Amino acid sequence: MPLLLLQLGAHPAEIAATKLTTCVEGGAYFLDFSRPLGRLRWFGTWNQRLGFTLSLLVPVVHQAESTGRRVIAVDRGDPYFKELQRLWNERFPVTRPAPCSAAPEEQIAADFAIQFPHDTQDTEA
């Protein structure tokens, strides 16, 4: 399923991201402009420096996290591919606001697995 970006009334300054038709209630993930956008490129082999950008590694942060650790992959064919690059050029870097609520790590991981089932890897970006 392609990426869906949306505004949530409770978080008007942030951009929510999901690969479902709507965000999980109380478990939204937002684009994390405090971390750089990653790129997967092809130049005879996969790398992050040379060649054609075929996928973006997009940092996301759960609404209950102050520091994000997860990324999602967005392929070149996704309708938001160019828009994500434009957003990062405009907004990166920013300081993340403190979260409004807290959630256990298990719930944060479960919310991620539901909304991004093919992106289940943490990062230390």
Average pLDDT, rounded, for the chain: 91
- pLDDT confidence of 125, banded at 50, 70, 90? very low
pTM above 0.85, yes or no: yes
pLDDT at 92 over 50: yes
Distances (CA, A) of 33 to 14, 47, 97, 107, 114: 10, 22, 11, 23, 22
pLDDT in tens, 16-38: 999 999 888 889 999 999 999 99
Considering only CA atoms, which of 15, 18, 8 is closest in space to residue 117? 18
- pLDDT confidence of 124, banded at 50, 70, 90? very low
Query: In the prediction, which pLDDT does 122 show?
Result: 53
Query: Would strands 11-18 and 4-8 be described as parallel, antiparallel, or unpaired?
Result: antiparallel
Query: In the prediction, which pLDDT does 98 show?
Result: 84
pLDDT in tens, 104-116: 999 999 999 999 9
pLDDT in tens, 68-88: 999 999 999 999 999 999 999
- pLDDT confidence of 90, banded at 50, 70, 90? very high
More confident residue, 119 or 19: 19
